[in-house]
Amino acid sequence: MTSTTTKPDSLQPAADMAGDVFDNWFDPLEAEVRARSREFIEELLRGELEAALSRPRYGHIPMSGNEGRTSVAGRRHGSRTRSLTGTFGQIETAVPRARLTTADGKTTEWKSQTLRAYQRRTLAADALIASTYLAGTNTRRVRRALAALFGETVGKDTVSRTWRKVKSDWDAWHTRSLTGEPIVRLILDGTAVRVRLDRKATSISLLVVLGVREDGQKVLLAIKRSRAWAARAAEAWRTVLADLINRGLRRPEFLIVDGAPGLDKAIASVGDGVPVQRCTVHKHRNLFAHAPERLHDEITADYNDMIYATTPEEIEARRKAFIRKWRLKHRAVADSLEEAGERLFTFTRLPPSQWSSVRTTDEIDKQFLAGSGRCILLFDRAAGILPSRPPFSQLPRAGAVKAGRSLRPPQGSALTGPSTAASSIGSGLERSNDSPAQCPRGMGTSSNGDCY
């Protein structure tokens, strides 16, 4: 007769395993990192004070580079212990103190610029707390979720204060003046993202505006939430554009749009006369929506040969050939291409070296929808919108938020406006190898059947 015995998998004594779970999970690596973090912060503060006093600790001779100074700027008088919470956890650090001599002979307390007065958490810690809260949990669950990192230093009140600060920063950025922004182009697109609101996954519509500066750098100018399917309405876009104008945005030289009917009407009312480029990627998807799947590969080959031709003359010739062929083979495809008109080829007015950057609004879709480059938008229960992942992860403070990759013109030249005739082709022309997919979830359908 056999008997079944159970042995512990670990060689650790049973007495040591009798405690609560995680009680014996001491990590010497984490402990050492926190100790080194304390030493690094204290050394950083001492170096900052030495620079302010122009002499090292216990020194009476000015440091190298300050020989010209005839008097000591002040004197040290001990240190105080400060508690600081960061992504490295909570540590106690000694902050040096000093009295500095002012120009009128009086003294004032030295204030560190590295560790501000009354600062208890680093900005990275605040961003982590806010991101955890905005992911859809409540303030008490944030405390439990981050307890392993912050211990008991982060409670529900701390989470609430952190979010209010983030919300105020977002509101200030959202209403900032655009008078000094050297914007020469605008990229406008409406998109839909999946978010979790009130414990339910839902889609919301967003109106997104990117600006392109004279040096080619892209800047996020506005994100507006709109009601379902109102993202394509003319009134919604007209409100967004009017807000940009009221904030001091100068008249752009070039517009890149997705081709939605509502956006076209809004542009006509506030920016009539500005050259407009219709997104070539959106039009490619529109062609797919008008043809059976068996024709998609052939449509892609003909469309790419037309759009990525090297000269305006070649583009025009292939455009006529495309319409002539598909009018006979599948008329709906030819009609959809003709619907876009000349706006689909406005990019040919610019130098060929800039064609690849102005043909499409796909930069917005890359940031909000596409795979690893997705920008996940997290929303306040009340209504606010806060981007949470690079390139939008940094909280907007006193400046524009960079969006996506820069559009640096070749050889450092400035972006040029559209001309009546395109210049000769340059070596910087890039051909995209990405095959546009069929209309993604959240896109609408125009009156003529096009998806956008």
For residues 222 and 249, is the Cβ–Cβ distance under 8 A? no
Q: Kindly state whether residues 244 and 132 are assigned to the same domain.
A: no
Do 247 and 379 share a structural domain? yes
pLDDT tens per residue across span 236-271: 888 888 899 999 998 899 999 988 878 888 887 666
| Domain assignment present for 449 | no
Which structure tokens are listed for 301? 């080959």
Shared domain check, 346 and 203 = yes
In a shared domain, residues 234 and 98: no
Choose the most confident range, by mean pLDDT, from 113-122, 147-156, 196-205, 367-376. Answer: 113-122
352 and 282, same structural domain? yes
420/382: higher pLDDT: 420
Average pLDDT over residues 335-348: 92
Average pLDDT over residues 305-327: 94
Q: Do 142 and 289 have their domain in common?
A: no
In a domain, 166, yes or no: yes
Task: Determine the pLDDT at residue 388.
Answer: 36
* pLDDT bracket for residue 439 (50, 70, 90): very low
Task: Identify the residue whose tokens are 């929506």.
Answer: 289
pLDDT per position as a tens digit, 65-88: 555 554 457 888 889 999 888 888
Residue with tokens 């560190």: 112
Do residues 283 and 340 touch, judged by C-beta distance below 8 A?
yes
Assess if residue 395 is contained within a domain: yes
Looking at the predicted structure, is the pLDDT value of residue 332 above 90?
yes
Read out DSSP for 235-250?
A: HHHHHHHHHHHHTTPP
Q: How many beta carbons lie within 10 A of that of residue 154, not counting itself?
A: 25
Task: Identify which has the larger pLDDT, 273 or 10.
Answer: 273
Give me the mean pLDDT over the 328-354 stretch. Answer: 92
Query: What 8-state DSSP symbol labels residue 293?
Result: G
Assess if residue 276 is contained within a domain. yes
- C-alpha dihedral (445, 447, 450, 452), degrees to nearest 10: -40
Per-residue confidence band for 35, with pLDDT thresholds at 50, 70 and 90: confident
Predicted confidence (pLDDT) at residue 403 exceeds the cutoff of 50 = no
Averaged pLDDT, 430-440: 38
Residue 44 has pLDDT above 60, yes or no: yes
Highest average pLDDT, of 103-117, 296-310, 357-371, comes from 296-310
Confidence of residue 174 (pLDDT cuts 50, 70, 90): confident
Query: What is the DSSP secondary structure assignment for residue 262, as one 8-state letter?
Result: H
Report the pLDDT value the prediction gives residue 227, as an integer from 0 to 100.
Answer: 67
If asked whether residues 78 and 204 sit together in one domain, one would say no
For residue 197, what pLDDT is reported? 66
pLDDT, residue 421, reads 39
Residue at 1 is within a domain: no
The number of domains in the chain is: 3
pLDDT of residue 338: 93
Token code pair at residue 316: 């025009």
Are 336 and 406 members of one domain? yes
pLDDT computed for residue 278 by the predictor: 92
Question: What number is the average pLDDT over the span 431-444?
Answer: 40
**Is residue 394 situated within a structural domain?**
yes
Asked whether residue 100 carries a pLDDT value surpassing 90, the answer given is no
Task: For residues 209 and 228, state if they share a domain.
Answer: yes
State percent of the chain over pLDDT 90.
Answer: 22
- pLDDT, greater one: 355 or 55: 355
What does the DSSP 8-state code read for residue 384?
Answer: -
Confirm whether 437 is domain-assigned: no
Q: Please check whether residues 247 and 385 belong to one and the same domain.
A: yes
* pLDDT of res. 370: 42
* Stretch 351-368: mean pLDDT: 80
| Amino acid 294: pLDDT | 94
The answer to whether residue 435 scores a pLDDT higher than 50 is no
pLDDT at 5: 57
- Contact criterion met (CB below 8 Å) for 177 and 116: no
270 and 317 inside one domain: yes
Read out DSSP for 391-429? TS-SPP-SSPEE-SS--PPGGGPPP----SS-----TT-
Q: 387 near 214, Cβ under 8 Å? A: no
pLDDT of residue 429: 28
Q: Which residues pair with 98 in a beta bridge?
A: 76
Domain that holds residue 142: 123-174
Calculate mean pLDDT across residues 415-420: 58
Determine how β-strand 254-257 pairs with β-strand 183-197: parallel
Report the mean per-residue pLDDT for the chain.
74
Residue 306 has pLDDT above 50, yes or no: yes
CA distance linking residue 210 with residue 221, whole number of Å:
5
Predicted confidence (pLDDT) at residue 368 exceeds the cutoff of 70: no
What is the pLDDT averaged over residues 143-168?
81
Instruction: Supply the pLDDT for residue 67.
Output: 55
Output the pLDDT for position 60: 63
Residues 100 and 135 in one domain: no
Look at 345 and 126; give whichever has higher pLDDT: 345
| Helix and strand numbers, DSSP H then E, in the chain | 13, 11
Identify whether 40 is part of a domain: yes
More confident residue, 398 or 346: 346
Rg (CA), the chain: 30
* Per-residue pLDDT, 320: 94
